[in-house]
A = this chain, B = another copy of it.
Amino acid sequence: MSEVYAARRERLRERCAAGGSASALVSRPANVRYLAGAAPQGAVLLLGRTEDLLLCGRPLGDEQGEGRPDEGLRVQLLDASGGDAAVAGADLAAAQGADSLAVEEHDLTVARHRALGSVAPRLRLADLGGAVEQLRLVKDEEEISCLRIGSEIADQALGELLESILVGRTERHLALELERRLVDHGADGPAFPTSVATGPNSGRGAHRPSDRRVEEGDFLSVCLGASYRGYRCEIGRTFVIGTSPADWQIELYDLVFAAQRAGREALAPGAAYRDIDRAARHVLDSAGYADGLAPLMGHGVGLEIDEDPQLAPAAMGKLDACVPVTVEPGVHIPGRGGVRIDDTLVVRPEADGGPELLTITTKELLAL
């Protein structure tokens, strides 16, 4: 793996050099992990003139999910009295003779940025911008494989839950149960807080589980994901509780299903981000649900659960092959409930069979 990280750092180094900085300080945790293999809390990566360094405030653990730093990278521990790793990094960059240091202005606070300036007053601080996020957009097969395994784990956890008795249990207990199952099946942990929404809560995006209990006739919508070796996937499904769904439930489900399928089918290398959004959104709009829709119909996933690209009406850019994204339209009718359907897929060219569906739990409307 060491070559992978070294190659990523080399690509970043080239971008920095093109921008006029021979050195860079990466502080955003997911970016540190992408380039260094691990991102202990508070750690920063110095892409130096003479040497790259991972600066950490505490010794690295051997805990699962935290990652292992690239063996080709020197790890430097700050002393116990603490101090900010970014400040130490700027100090080191200056000591290496750098005259310019590109930093992540979208991550560093104003106060930290000022501290960097004070410790190394001769260093010109430039903006690295979203250069590392750009590199992270297209995944290699190793990364996709982590997402695939995470998706299998999430499918398993969800499948087991569906076999258990649901009526009478609270949203919070079901969410905890799902998270336990994710870990049972080998996840580092949940990719994001598991959402379980019943009855009038169903279909709401990112609903935080409450003490409401599952009742007969409810819609039940569930959104969960596994983090596996740091890679985070997402699956969302909606079910009906009881013998048979009501007519309005079937209609609403079919509509959201059609929107989600339209979004999935629009995924292709070269397709504009906004066109994926439009494909899904248009189906819901046409049925009179334009108001109250989520601002986006999907987003990239990887080391963060919500990363570029955003599949939104005003998004600029086009999909590449090997970009994993979610497609997750939903409709929520206040007071009544609703439906969300959410998959993680990898964009693939048609010659390779088109988009690869990672989350394979059925999207039929199941009555549980």
Q: Which residues of A approach B to under 8 Å, CB–CB? A: 61-66, 80-82, 103, 105-114, 127, 172-173, 176, 179-180, 183, 204, 207-211, 293-295, 313-314
Contacts and interface: CB of A to CB of B under 8 A. Distances in A.
User: Could you tell me the dominant secondary structure of chain A's interface residues?
Assistant: loop
A173 B183 CA distance: 8
A208 B66 contact: yes
Contacts of A173: 180, 183
Contact of A208 (B61, B81, B210): B61
A295 B81 contact: yes
A208 B65 contact: yes
Nearest to A66: B208
* Oligomeric state, in copies: 2
19 contacts: A61-B207, A62-B210, A63-B207, A63-B208, A63-B209, A63-B210, A64-B172, A64-B208, A64-B211, A66-B208, A105-B114, A106-B109, A106-B110, A107-B109, A109-B109, A109-B110, A110-B113, A172-B183, A173-B180
Contacts of A207: 61, 63
A106 B114 CA distance: 10
Nearest to A211: B64
Given A63-B210, A80-B293, A110-B110, 17 more contacts: A63-B207, A63-B208, A64-B208, A64-B210, A66-B208, A81-B313, A82-B295, A105-B109, A105-B114, A106-B111, A108-B109, A110-B127, A172-B183, A173-B180, A176-B176, A176-B183, A180-B180
